[in-house]
Amino acid sequence: MLEVSGLAAQYGRAQILAEVGLTVAAGEVVVLLGRNGAGKSTTLKAIMGLVPPSAGRIRFRGQEIAGRPPFEIARLGLGYVPEERRIFSELTVMENLEVGRRPAPPGQQAWTPERLFALFPSLGAMRHRPGGRMSGGEQQMLTIARTLMGQPRLVLLDEPSEGLAPVVVERMAEAILALKAEGLSILLSEQNLHFARAVSDRATIIEKGRIRWEGGMAALMADAGIREQYLSV
Amino acid sequence: METLVLQALSGLASASSLFLVASGLTVIFGVSRIVNFAHGSFYMLGAYLAWSLVTALPRGHLGFWGGILAAALGVGLIGIAIETLLLRRIYRAPELFQLLATFGVVLIVQDLALLLWGAQDLLGPRAPGLRGGTMILGLRFPDYELFLIAVGPVVLLLLHLLFHRTRWGMLVRAATQDREMVGALGVNQRMLFTSVFFLGACLAGLGGALQLPRESVNLGMDLAIIVEAFVVVVVGGLGSLMGAALAALLIGELHALGILVLPKITLVLVFLVMAVVLVMRPHGLLGRAQAPAAAGAAAEPAIGATPRPLVWLGLAALLAALALPPFAGDYALSVLTEIAILILFAASLHLIMGPGGMASFGHAAYFGLGAYSAALAAKWLLAPMAIGLALAPVAAGLGGLLFGWFCVRLSGVYAAMLTLAFAQIAWSVAFQWSEVTGGDNGILGVWPDAWAAPRLVYYYLTLGLCLAATLLLRRVIRAPFGYALRAQRDSALRAETIGIDAFAIRWRAFALAAVMAGLAGGLFAYAKGSVFPTYLGIPRSVDALLMVLLGGVQTLSGPILGAIAYTGLQEQLMRLTDLWRLMLGTTILLLVLFFPQGLAGAARARWEGRHGGA
Ligand SMILES: Nc1ncnc2c1ncn2[C@@H]1O[C@H](COP(=O)(O)OP(=O)(O)OP(=O)(O)O)[C@@H](O)[C@H]1O
Ligand SMILES: [Mg+2]
């Protein structure tokens, strides 16, 4: 579904990504792991076209998308949930969802506000509340729901567990597993190994803008040396 | 009492028109982050187009109202053309460039309107059905004004519905907060920007068209309304529709009632209110802090050593400036004198813009203050030239200390607007206080003392003073003060943590720039023998900006090159064609589109490209 190879990106003169390659198959959840500043968010932004890639190929559903503007990439079925959430704080929950709304491709069951409220019940109780007056966890759910309104086939999810209370992380994991069960592909960026393990099939480890390790989630959990080398702080 | 009520009512009518223009301006800013100087031109074009349509169409309701609406839509289409051809290319440029580019459009539209409609004022027909008046408290009040009073709230209501009840409106509100995120959700921002621009231009066009039965259509409408609309938008809070409505009401009434209390200084009153609001609420009544534009401008290169060839070139030019003038004629001498003065003027603005990182759209205020204080001393105190020249920088410096205390607290567009407002205060004092300043006629007979009267002597005097002052400015930029100034520009927070008082540094730089601009202004007054309110006007502030940007903001030699190139260009244009505004506007657009780093920047880039980066 998504194949990235040789991806490089820079901010000004600082080279942030050097050699990033990864794949996500249909219906798969892949987690991108790495320490603070390793380049996880930048990888997701580069795939989405928010940071212009300086080299490399990004194929999504058979099409080359490197260098295209974000709105075109989104329309091909790629959803993006930013780390900072970026809720439209002046708009209500319903309005936030409306901004994300796009028609569903033929043969795909459309996400509607009602279906999303079933997935995230707490949102349904505050339909007309402005986004700026919601808790961090509620905002995180809203930003995922907003992206789902665009009827994506693959979602780039940047650290959804960050800054959330343990109970809320638990609920977030359930929601992601429910999305996976719907057949959605997900590329997740995480630092919370516990959370990543609960939801992912495979892991890719990034360090200083390069991919260092790739394999199944079970293999990673079995290899304390790799975890020690690339993930512990 | 009755007059008070009627005056308040006509204030409401003005507030309505003002709101139409300001609402478009603020909506456009909200989404595109561009402060559209050309918005006043849209207003003026609306009035002219309406005049043409209404006089051409058959008389009656359909002809009149149809003409008004068609004019508004026509202006909307012009807005689309400007957005797609120009603004779309500069959405990522620094704010000042955007402001300047839209000012280029203002100049171009002025000359085009002159070509199409001529210089004389045009009078339109009165509105069918609204020709009469209504008795209010025993006094007659025009029906058309009552109609205008209703237009404002109706448009506000319609806009509110548009922004809250339609998907398009939600997208616009979302984009006002975070346009990049809206794009990542699959919304084509280009379409959104263009449609917002269309709406804003239509509103301004409608505002202008509706003036037709009220006042004559003329070429001064654009700058008159844009300055007021800026005030409204800034007081209300950039991007806030309700803020614009509230501020339009405030400013409209201030004008209407101010005339009763202080007929001479209504303008001053308006700008004072603006200054007070901005100091109390730096983002306006209902505005909020804007997130810095995503993917901010790339870090500017530090000011390094001057490349060798440039040093030689500079020395050669200086030698020529010293040795050749005895062989030059009177005309050439006066041009050379002017260039020397403008170099200092540009260098003074460069200090706050380049190393200081502050935007000033009203630097002419200090130039004019210097010129006027020299001229006033000569006229009322019969002071010799030495006194006048000593007074000029002092007066301008005091002005800079006073205005700067307000301005350096703000940043970006807000600072640009506030400096503009202060310059307009200074301008309106010079313009309206005619007993002292001579008003529009200016002050004549400001000639140098006998010893300096020969043009050659005055040229050398000017060259000496300007050279010394410009070199002093260069010294300042390379001194610890200059480092502190650049440190606070690059990161105010970091500068504070290493013990730099950013406010004090900025304030002192602002005042120093004012002192130098004042000296330039004083020299200019004696060179020309007269002073006029135009010395303080917006076009002169823009001159200074252009010189600095033409040369390049981030190079020390930029302002010098810029002043020379700009004066030369203007001299040539003025001599070659009557349409110098058109040419100048086009030049500005070309500069902004193709030479965003200025001449010196481009030259340096070429030099470094060939000889390896410094
Ligand atoms: N806008 C930017 N300009 C310059 N450098 C940036 C910018 N954003 C990120 N960086 C740098 O790029 C590197 C990678 O950042 P990135 O946000 O991709 O890391 P991350 O793996 O997502 O980290 P975290 O776990 O903290 O979110 C960091 O060194 C960071 O300082
Ligand atoms: Mg990150």
In 3D, which of A203, A91, A218 has the Cα closest to residue A143?
A91
Exposure class string for A64-90: b at 16+ Cβ within 10 A, else e:
ebbebbbbebbbbbbbbbbbebbbbbe
Query: Which tokens in the block code for residue B415?
Result: 């600072």
SS3 content of chain B, % helix, strand, coil (to 5): 75, 0, 20
Residue pair B128/B64 in contact by the 8 Å Cβ criterion = yes
> B185–A146: do the CB atoms touch at under 8 Å?
yes
Best mean pLDDT range from B266-280, B410-424, B521-535, B590-604: B521-535
> Could you give the CA distance from residue A50 to residue A58 in angstroms, rounded to a whole number?
13
Kindly tell me if the per-residue pLDDT of B293 is higher than 50. Answer: no
- Grade residue B296 by pLDDT with cuts at 50, 70 and 90: very low
What's the topology of domain A2-91+152-230?
Answer: Rossmann fold (3.40.50)
Q: How far is CA B75 from CA B200, B219, B299, B406, in A?
A: 10, 16, 38, 36
- Determine what percent of chain B is predicted with pLDDT higher than 90: 45
ipTM of model: 0.93
Q: Please state the three-class secondary structure of A29-88 as a single string.
A: EEEEECCCCCCHHHHHHHHHCCCCEEEEEEEECCEECCCCCHHHHHHCCEEEECCCCCCC
pLDDT at residue number B389: 94
pLDDT at residue number B473: 93
Kindly tell me if the per-residue pLDDT of A232 is higher than 90. Answer: no
Under DSSP, is residue A18 helix (H, G, I), strand (E, B) or coil? strand
**Cβ of B547: how many Cβ atoms within 10 Å?**
27
> Could you give the CA distance from residue B546 to residue B563 in angstroms, rounded to a whole number?
9
Query: Which tokens in the block code for residue B326?
Result: 């005895």
In A, which residues are within 8 Å of B178 by CB distance?
86, 88
Give me the mean pLDDT over the B28-37 stretch.
87
Q: Which of B177, B180, B298 sits opposite A88 (nearest CB)?
A: B177
- Grade residue B611 by pLDDT with cuts at 50, 70 and 90: low
The beta-carbon contacts of B566-569 under 8 Å, at least 24 apart in sequence, are B566/B342, B567/B335, B567/B338, B567/B339, B567/B342
pLDDT at residue number B316: 82
- Grade residue B614 by pLDDT with cuts at 50, 70 and 90: very low
Residue pair A19/A208 in contact by the 8 Å Cβ criterion = no
> Could you give the CA distance from residue B71 to residue B48 in angstroms, rounded to a whole number?
8
- Whether B181 and chain A come into contact, CB under 8 Å, resolves to yes
Q: How do B133-136 and A2-11 pair as beta strands?
A: unpaired
User: Which residue would you say has higher pLDDT here, B515 or B413?
Assistant: B515
User: What is the helix (H) or strand (E) element at residue A183, kind and residue range?
Assistant: none
Kindly tell me if the per-residue pLDDT of B292 is higher than 50. Answer: no
What DSSP string describes B36-65?
Answer: -TTHHHHHHHHHHHHHHHHHHSPSSHHHHH
pLDDT at residue number A203: 92
Question: What's the one-letter identity of residue B322?
Answer: L
Per-residue pLDDT reduced to its tens digit, A18-38:
889 999 999 999 999 998 888
Task: Show the DSSP H helices in A165-233 as ranges.
Answer: 166-181, 193-199, 217-222, 224-230
In B, which residues are within 8 Å of A96 by CB distance?
174
Kindly tell me if the per-residue pLDDT of B607 is higher than 70. Answer: no
- Which residue's CA lies nearest to atom 9 of ligand 1? A42
Q: Please state the three-class secondary structure of B287-311 as a single string.
A: CCCCCCCCCCCCCCCCCCCCCHHHH
Chain B nearest-CA residue for A145: B185
Q: Which of A80, A88, A150 sits opposite B178 (nearest CB)?
A: A88
Per-residue pLDDT reduced to its tens digit, B507-531:
999 999 999 999 999 999 999 999 9
User: B480 Cβ partners below 8 Å, 6+ apart?
Assistant: none
User: What is the helix (H) or strand (E) element at residue A215, kind and residue range?
Assistant: strand A210-216
Per-residue pLDDT reduced to its tens digit, B357-369:
888 889 999 999 9
Per-residue pLDDT reduced to its tens digit, A36-85:
888 999 999 999 999 999 999 999 999 999 989 999 999 999 999 999 98
Kindly tell me if the per-residue pLDDT of B99 is higher than 50. Answer: yes
Mean pLDDT value across chain B: 87
Lowest model confidence (mean pLDDT) among A76-85, B360-369, B398-407, B429-438: B429-438
In A, which residues are within 8 Å of B242 by CB distance?
none
In 3D, which of B580, B562, B561, B560 has the Cα closest to residue B570?
B580
- Whether A95 and chain B come into contact, CB under 8 Å, resolves to yes
User: Which residue would you say has higher pLDDT here, B292 or B547?
Assistant: B547
Residue pair B28/B36 in contact by the 8 Å Cβ criterion = yes
Kindly tell me if the per-residue pLDDT of A8 is higher than 80. Answer: yes
Give me the mean pLDDT over the A202-228 stretch.
87
pLDDT at residue number B613: 42
User: Which residue would you say has higher pLDDT here, B524 or B537?
Assistant: B524
Query: Which tokens in the block code for residue B582?
Result: 């058109």
Torsions phi, psi of B118, nearest 5? 80, 170
Lowest model confidence (mean pLDDT) among B81-85, B418-422, B480-484: B418-422
First to last CA, chain A: 33
pLDDT at residue number B600: 67
**Cβ of B436: how many Cβ atoms within 10 Å?**
13
pTM: predicted TM-score of the whole model, two decimal places: 0.86
- Grade residue B146 by pLDDT with cuts at 50, 70 and 90: very high
Q: How far is CA B153 from CA A121, B17, B158, B498, in A?
A: 40, 11, 9, 51
Kindly tell me if the per-residue pLDDT of B15 is higher than 60. Answer: yes
Give me the mean pLDDT over the B86-90 stretch.
89
What's B87's DSSP letter? G
Q: How do A78-81 and A154-158 pair as beta strands?
A: parallel
> Could you give the CA distance from residue B15 to residue B258 in angstroms, rounded to a whole number?
14
Task: Show the DSSP H helices in B262-384 as ranges.
Answer: 266-280, 308-323, 330-353, 364-380
Task: Give me the residue label for tokens 């020690």.
Answer: A228
What DSSP string describes B575-592?
Answer: HH-S-HHHHHHHHHHHHH
Lowest model confidence (mean pLDDT) among B82-91, B367-376, B394-403, B565-574: B565-574
pLDDT at residue number B299: 40
In 3D, which of B79, B106, B101, B99 has the Cα closest to residue B414?
B99
> A88–B185: do the CB atoms touch at under 8 Å?
no
Ligand 1 centre distance from Cα of residue A16 (Å): 8
Residue pair B600/B558 in contact by the 8 Å Cβ criterion = yes
What's B471's DSSP letter? H
Per-residue pLDDT reduced to its tens digit, A128-171:
999 999 998 899 999 999 999 999 999 999 999 888 888 889 99
In angstroms, what separates the C-alpha of A60 from chain B's closest C-alpha? Answer: 16
Kindly tell me if the per-residue pLDDT of B308 is higher than 90. Answer: no
User: What is the helix (H) or strand (E) element at residue A53, kind and residue range?
Assistant: strand A53-60
Kindly tell me if the per-residue pLDDT of B12 is higher than 50. Answer: yes
Q: How do A29-33 and A53-60 pair as beta strands?
A: unpaired
pLDDT at residue number B543: 86
How many A×B Cβ pairs under 8 Å?
A: 57
- Whether B56 and chain A come into contact, CB under 8 Å, resolves to no
What's A175's DSSP letter? H
Ligand 1 pocket residues where CB is under 6 Å: A 11, 14, 16, 34, 36-42, 83, 191
pLDDT at residue number B517: 97
Per-residue pLDDT reduced to its tens digit, B327-355:
888 888 988 999 999 999 999 999 998 88
- Grade residue B445 by pLDDT with cuts at 50, 70 and 90: confident
User: B56 Cβ partners below 8 Å, 6+ apart?
Assistant: B67
- Grade residue B429 by pLDDT with cuts at 50, 70 and 90: confident
Chain B nearest-CA residue for A94: B170
In B, which residues are within 8 Å of A101 by CB distance?
167
pLDDT at residue number B609: 63
Beta bridge partners of A205: A33, A213
User: Which residue would you say has higher pLDDT here, A224 or B244?
Assistant: B244
Query: Which tokens in the block code for residue A29?
Result: 């959840």
- Grade residue A10 by pLDDT with cuts at 50, 70 and 90: confident
- Whether A146 and chain B come into contact, CB under 8 Å, resolves to yes
Per-residue pLDDT reduced to its tens digit, B546-577:
888 877 777 778 888 888 888 887 777 777 77
> Could you give the CA distance from residue A13 to residue B397 in angstroms, rounded to a whole number?
41
Task: Give me the residue label for tokens 């529709």.
Answer: B241
Query: Which tokens in the block code for residue B266?
Result: 């209504």
- Grade residue B97 by pLDDT with cuts at 50, 70 and 90: confident
Per-residue pLDDT reduced to its tens digit, B487-509:
888 887 777 788 788 889 999 99
Chain B nearest-CA residue for A74: B186
What DSSP string describes B382-394?
Answer: ---HHHHHHHHHH
pLDDT at residue number B328: 81
Give me the mean pLDDT over the B159-177 stretch.
93
User: Which residue would you say has higher pLDDT here, A12 or B379?
Assistant: B379
Residue pair B125/B59 in contact by the 8 Å Cβ criterion = yes
Pocket test for ligand 1, best of A13, A17, A41 (most atoms within 8 A of CB): A41
In 3D, which of B566, B604, B612 has the Cα closest to residue B587?
B566
- Whether A100 and chain B come into contact, CB under 8 Å, resolves to yes
Residue pair B106/B40 in contact by the 8 Å Cβ criterion = yes
Ligand 1 centre distance from Cα of residue A203 (Å): 20
Q: How far is CA B151 from CA A74, B33, B42, B228, in A?
A: 41, 27, 19, 19
Query: Which tokens in the block code for residue B213?
Result: 């039965």
Best probe of the A interface among B172, B178, B185, B192, by most A CBs < 10 A, is B185
Under DSSP, is residue B551 helix (H, G, I), strand (E, B) or coil? helix
> Could you give the CA distance from residue B530 to residue B95 in angstroms, rounded to a whole number?
35
- Whether A74 and chain B come into contact, CB under 8 Å, resolves to yes
> Could you give the CA distance from residue B389 to residue B394 in angstroms, rounded to a whole number?
9
> Could you give the CA distance from residue B258 to residue B7 in angstroms, rounded to a whole number?
10
pLDDT at residue number B290: 58
Give me the mean pLDDT over the A174-203 stretch.
92
Give me the mean pLDDT over the A199-205 stretch.
92
- Grade residue B162 by pLDDT with cuts at 50, 70 and 90: very high
- Which residue's CA lies nearest to atom 16 of ligand 1? A39
Under DSSP, is residue B161 helix (H, G, I), strand (E, B) or coil? helix
Kindly compute the dihedral angle of the four CA atoms of residues B178, B183, B186, B188, in this order, to the nearest 10 degrees. 120
In B, which residues are within 8 Å of A89 by CB distance?
177
Ligand nearest the Cα of residue A32 is 1
> Could you give the CA distance from residue B333 to residue A44 in angstroms, rounded to a whole number?
63
What's B540's DSSP letter? H
In 3D, which of B304, B86, B40, B277 has the Cα closest to residue B193?
B86
pLDDT at residue number B610: 62
| C-alpha Rg value of chain B to the nearest Å | 25
- Whether B180 and chain A come into contact, CB under 8 Å, resolves to yes
- Whether B84 and chain A come into contact, CB under 8 Å, resolves to no
